[in-house]
A and B are shown apart, each in its own frame.
Chain A
C-alpha cells in the first residue's frame, strides 16, 4: 500500500527558511502526535507500514526532509543542510501540526542523527516528549566516542575504531565532489532497489520512490555539511532532555553496536532494544517497531499526564532488550524445561503463551509469568500431537495475541526399554508427541512467521540422546535424532527468511520427565520402581531446568544451531565427532537401574 492510499491520509505544505516541506498526517488529530523522520537516501515513504500501524492509536506525522521527496531543496545546496537548519524545519513542522502539545519523535538513519540534535539542543525543550532512535547516532556523541578511543588507544578500542571506520566507507565516498551525484543519477539510482532487495532483504513494493536519485544526490550534503564539522568539534553539552528508546539492529552493516556503549552518560532515561535485522528496519520489521514505539509513547504519555517521571519498571532479566514485548510460545510449559523457559522469557519482558496438555499447569505458568515481568501471559491446554488442535491454537493465537516471534517446541515424553520389547503402540505414542508435535509446531507457527516475513526464531528441544546412542532409549533417541535433523534442515530453509532455528540438547536434567516415562516391557510395579529409581538418579545429578532455559535464551539471541547444555551432553557431542566408536561402546552399557 502506498502512503497516499491510506485512509485518513492528508497532506500540507509548511514554509520555512525559504523552502517548502511536504508534511503528511495520519490518524486522529486529538491524540498525541508521533513525528517520523526518515533517513538517507529515503523519503517519508520508508515509514509507510510503521505509520499505518501507529495511526491506529496516535496522530502520526511524517515529512520529507528538505531536498528529499516532495519537499523543495535549499539554494544553494552547500550549507543548506546544517543541523541548525534541520532543527528549524522540525520546529516549523511541529508548530504546524501540534502547536500546544509536545510530540513523540522517531528517527531512522539520518532522521535519527538529526533527531539527536533536536533532543539535545535547548530551543526544543518542552516541544518533544520522547525520542525513539534507530540506526543513527548523535554526531556529537560519535565525535566524543572517537576522541576517547584516540586518546587512550587500548587494543580493544583500536579494534572498535577500525571496525566502525571500515563500516563507514560510504561516508568517505559521499565526501568526494560530484561523483556521488553522478552515480545516484546514473547507474546506482537504477540499481538501488535491487541492491536493497538482495543485500538488505527489503521487500519489494512502493519503496524506494521514483524521487530516489534526487533524494540521494541532495542528501549527500547532509554528510558534507555536518559530519566533518561535528566529529572534529563535538558539542560538550549534548545531553538528551527527553527519555530515549534506542533500537539497535544487530545486523547493521553501517553502524557498530559499540557506538552506543556509554550512551547512558548522555541520556538519563535510556531504554535499550535490539533486534536481529539489517539496517532498513522500518521496511523489514515494521510490526516490532510499531509495537515498541507505541509502548514507549504510551508510557511517556501517561507519565506526562500524571506529571511524574516514567516509572522504572523495565524488565531486568538477561536479554530484556532483545525479547521485551515479543510474543513467545512454549509447548510443554506446565513443568520442567518448558516452564523454566517460559519464566526466563517472562523475566525478559516477553509476552508468553504457555501450552500444555495439563491445563491447570499451563495456567499456573502463565500466572507466575505475569508476576515476574511478562506484560501478558496466557495458558492454553493443547495436545501438541493433535494436528487440528494445533491449527486451532495457531488461529486463536494469531487472532488474539499476534504472530509468534519465538516458538519453543519443547513438549516431549520419555520412553525407555529395549527395542525388542517396545511395541508399535509405544513407538506411535513417543513419535506422536516428540516428533509430530515438533513438526506441527514448526509447520503451523513457522508458516505464520514465514508468511509475515519479519523474521522470528524456532527452538526445538532435542536431546543429548539425539547423538548418543544407547540400548536403553532406542525409541526416544530416534525421535530426538529426528528433531535434531529436522531443526538443521529447517534452519537451512528458513535462513533466507531471517527465521533462525536452534536445536537444544539438554542432557540429564532434573525434571518431571522421569516420573512419567514409560518403561517398555515392565509391568506396573516394575515401572513405578524404575520411575522412582531414575527420578532419584536424575535428582542426584540435579541439573536445574533453569540453566537449560538460560541456554535457550542465549541460543535465540545469538542464533545458535545446536546447543548441548549439560557437561555430559557437551562431552558426548564432542565424542560423537572425535570418536563415535567410544559412544557406541557406551551405548552397549546397561544403565544401573
Chain B
C-alpha cells in the first residue's frame, strides 16, 4: 500500500486511468439504455452486469443510481437512503450513476450526471460544475488545507445559488483517497463497500491519524492539513430544489515542487469535460 505516485509509475497511473475510463464507458452505456419506467435498482444492476462482463470482480462500492429529487438527496436522513430504490425514471428527470469498480487491482470511483430528455435547469447545474473543477485543482496546487478548499467550494456553491449536497455523504466528504487493492478470490462487501478497499481506507486512516492527515476530505478539523500525495476521488455535488448534479473523478496529488506536476486530474478526456469544451465551442 505504498504511495503509488511517489515512485513515479506512469504505468500505474495508466492502470487507474484505464479503469476510470472503463467506468465512464459503463456510465455512458447504461445512461444510453435508460428509458422511462426503469427503476434505480435496475439501473444499478445494469452497471454491475456491464462491468462484470468486462472483468470487474471487486468494488470500492457497488453502483448507485439516483433519480429525480433523489439526485439532490432530498429528505435523506440515514445512509441507507443512498441505496437504489424502486423509483422509476420519468421524462425530463435528472439521474446520477455512481460506481467504483476495482479492475486488475486498480480502483476508480466515478459519478455521472445526466437527464432523460431536455432539462435546462440540469444543464445549468452541469455547466456550473466546471468552475468547481478548476477551483479545486488550483487550490490543491497552492497547497491550501483540505478543509479550507472544502469551505471555498461550498462558498462558491452558495454564491451560485446552490446547496452543497456532498455534505450528505458519510462524514460530509467532498473526496476520499483511493488506492490499489489486493486481488483476492473472495472479497465480501459491507453495506455495498468492498472489504479490501475498506481495509485500505482504514489503514490509511490509522496511519494518517498518527501523522496528522486523513484519507477523508471533509469540512471537519481532521481535514485541516494540506493535500496528502496520492489519488483522491473528488466529488463536488450541487443541489438545487430537487435537482442535483455531480461529477466524480480522480485527482492525482504528488509531492513534486513543480505546481503543474504537484496536482493534476488523472484524465481530461471525460464526458463532463468534453461537454464543457463543446459548450465553449458552441458559444
Residues of A at the B interface (CB closer than 8 Å) are 335, 339, 343, 347, 361, 364-365, 368, 371-372, 512, 544, 546
- B240: chain A residues at CB < 8 Å are 368, 372
B135 close to A (CB within 8 Å): no
Say whether A361 contacts B159, CB under 8 Å: yes
23 A/B residue pairs, CB under 8 Å, sorted by A: A335-B158, A335-B159, A339-B161, A343-B161, A343-B241, A347-B241, A361-B159, A364-B159, A364-B160, A364-B161, A365-B161, A368-B124, A368-B161, A368-B240, A371-B120, A371-B121, A371-B124, A372-B121, A372-B240, A372-B241, A512-B158, A544-B163, A546-B241
Q: How far is the CB of B278 from chain A (nearest CB, A)?
A: 20
Residues B113-168 near A (CB distance < 8 A): 120-121, 124, 158-161, 163
13 new A-B contacts at CB < 8 Å, known A364-B161, A368-B124, A368-B240: A335-B158, A335-B159, A339-B161, A343-B161, A343-B241, A361-B159, A364-B159, A364-B160, A371-B120, A371-B121, A371-B124, A372-B121, A544-B163
- B163: chain A residues at CB < 8 Å are 544
Task: A546 to B162: give the CA distance in the assembly, Å.
Answer: 12
Minimal Cβ-Cβ distance residue in A for B162: A368
- A335: chain B residues at CB < 8 Å are 158-159
Residues B210-240 near A (CB distance < 8 A): 240
Q: How far is the CB of B194 from chain A (nearest CB, A)?
A: 32
Q: How far is the CB of A349 from chain B (nearest CB, A)?
A: 14
Q: How far is the CB of A343 from chain B (nearest CB, A)?
A: 6
Minimal Cβ-Cβ distance residue in A for B123: A371
- A544: chain B residues at CB < 8 Å are 163
Task: A546 to B161: give the CA distance in the assembly, Å.
Answer: 12
Q: Is the interface of B mostly helix, strand, loop or mixed?
A: helix
Most A C-beta atoms less than 10 A away, residue of B159, B160, B161: B161
Residues of B at the A interface (CB closer than 8 Å) are 120-121, 124, 158-161, 163, 240-241
Task: A339 to B163: give the CA distance in the assembly, Å.
Answer: 12
- A365: chain B residues at CB < 8 Å are 161
Q: How far is the CB of A371 from chain B (nearest CB, A)?
A: 4
Task: A524 to B161: give the CA distance in the assembly, Å.
Answer: 28
Task: A544 to B159: give the CA distance in the assembly, Å.
Answer: 15
Task: A69 to B240: give the CA distance in the assembly, Å.
Answer: 55
Minimal Cβ-Cβ distance residue in B for A335: B158
Q: How far is the CB of B16 from chain A (nearest CB, A)?
A: 35
Most B C-beta atoms less than 10 A away, residue of A339, A364, A368, A512: A368
Minimal Cβ-Cβ distance residue in B for A511: B158
Minimal Cβ-Cβ distance residue in A for B120: A371
- A512: chain B residues at CB < 8 Å are 158
Question: What 5 A-B pairs have minimum CB-CB distances, sorted nearest first?
Answer: A371-B121, A368-B161, A371-B120, A371-B124, A364-B161
Most A C-beta atoms less than 10 A away, residue of B158, B160, B241: B241
Minimal Cβ-Cβ distance residue in B for A347: B241
Q: How far is the CB of A381 from chain B (nearest CB, A)?
A: 16
- B159: chain A residues at CB < 8 Å are 335, 361, 364
Task: A57 to B173: give the CA distance in the assembly, Å.
Answer: 56
- A364: chain B residues at CB < 8 Å are 159-161
Task: A63 to B121: give the CA distance in the assembly, Å.
Answer: 46
Task: A339 to B161: give the CA distance in the assembly, Å.
Answer: 8
Q: How far is the CB of A564 from chain B (nearest CB, A)?
A: 24
Q: How far is the CB of B93 from chain A (nearest CB, A)?
A: 14
Task: A335 to B155: give the CA distance in the assembly, Å.
Answer: 11
Minimal Cβ-Cβ distance residue in A for B122: A371
Minimal Cβ-Cβ distance residue in A for B159: A361
Task: A335 to B161: give the CA distance in the assembly, Å.
Answer: 7
- B158: chain A residues at CB < 8 Å are 335, 512
Task: A591 to B159: give the CA distance in the assembly, Å.
Answer: 29
Task: A544 to B241: give the CA distance in the assembly, Å.
Answer: 12
Q: How far is the CB of B273 from chain A (nearest CB, A)?
A: 23
Minimal Cβ-Cβ distance residue in B for A358: B159
Q: How far is the CB of B280 from chain A (nearest CB, A)?
A: 19
Task: A361 to B120: give the CA distance in the assembly, Å.
Answer: 20
- A546: chain B residues at CB < 8 Å are 241
- B124: chain A residues at CB < 8 Å are 368, 371
- B241: chain A residues at CB < 8 Å are 343, 347, 372, 546
Q: How far is the CB of A582 from chain B (nearest CB, A)?
A: 33
- B120: chain A residues at CB < 8 Å are 371
Task: A365 to B158: give the CA distance in the assembly, Å.
Answer: 11
Minimal Cβ-Cβ distance residue in A for B161: A368
- A368: chain B residues at CB < 8 Å are 124, 161, 240
Task: A335 to B158: give the CA distance in the assembly, Å.
Answer: 8
Minimal Cβ-Cβ distance residue in B for A535: B151
Task: A497 to B149: give the CA distance in the assembly, Å.
Answer: 53
Minimal Cβ-Cβ distance residue in A for B119: A371
Task: A544 to B240: give the CA distance in the assembly, Å.
Answer: 13
Task: A419 to B196: give the CA distance in the assembly, Å.
Answer: 60
Task: A531 to B158: give the CA distance in the assembly, Å.
Answer: 17
Task: A544 to B163: give the CA distance in the assembly, Å.
Answer: 10
Q: How far is the CB of B118 from chain A (nearest CB, A)?
A: 12
Minimal Cβ-Cβ distance residue in B for A370: B120
Task: A339 to B241: give the CA distance in the assembly, Å.
Answer: 12
- A339: chain B residues at CB < 8 Å are 161
- B160: chain A residues at CB < 8 Å are 364
Q: How far is the CB of A34 from chain B (nearest CB, A)?
A: 32
Q: How far is the CB of A94 from chain B (nearest CB, A)?
A: 38
Task: A365 to B160: give the CA distance in the assembly, Å.
Answer: 8
Task: A529 to B163: give the CA distance in the assembly, Å.
Answer: 24
- A372: chain B residues at CB < 8 Å are 121, 240-241
Task: A361 to B163: give the CA distance in the assembly, Å.
Answer: 15
Q: How far is the CB of A95 from chain B (nearest CB, A)?
A: 42
Minimal Cβ-Cβ distance residue in B for A342: B161
Q: How far is the CB of B92 from chain A (nearest CB, A)?
A: 11
Minimal Cβ-Cβ distance residue in B for A542: B167
Q: How far is the CB of B256 from chain A (nearest CB, A)?
A: 33
Minimal Cβ-Cβ distance residue in A for B219: A539
Task: A372 to B121: give the CA distance in the assembly, Å.
Answer: 7
Q: How far is the CB of B76 from chain A (nearest CB, A)?
A: 14
- B121: chain A residues at CB < 8 Å are 371-372
Q: How far is the CB of A337 from chain B (nearest CB, A)?
A: 13
Q: How far is the CB of B131 from chain A (nearest CB, A)?
A: 13
Task: A365 to B240: give the CA distance in the assembly, Å.
Answer: 12
Minimal Cβ-Cβ distance residue in B for A368: B161
Task: A343 to B162: give the CA distance in the assembly, Å.
Answer: 11
Minimal Cβ-Cβ distance residue in A for B125: A371
Minimal Cβ-Cβ distance residue in B for A339: B161
Task: A339 to B159: give the CA distance in the assembly, Å.
Answer: 10
Task: A313 to B241: give the CA distance in the assembly, Å.
Answer: 18
Task: A512 to B156: give the CA distance in the assembly, Å.
Answer: 12
Q: How far is the CB of B240 from chain A (nearest CB, A)?
A: 7
Minimal Cβ-Cβ distance residue in B for A343: B241
Task: A362 to B163: give the CA distance in the assembly, Å.
Answer: 17
Task: A371 to B160: give the CA distance in the assembly, Å.
Answer: 13
- A343: chain B residues at CB < 8 Å are 161, 241
Task: A512 to B160: give the CA distance in the assembly, Å.
Answer: 13
Q: How far is the CB of B246 from chain A (nearest CB, A)?
A: 18
Task: A364 to B158: give the CA distance in the assembly, Å.
Answer: 11
Task: A339 to B158: give the CA distance in the assembly, Å.
Answer: 10
Task: A339 to B120: give the CA distance in the assembly, Å.
Answer: 20
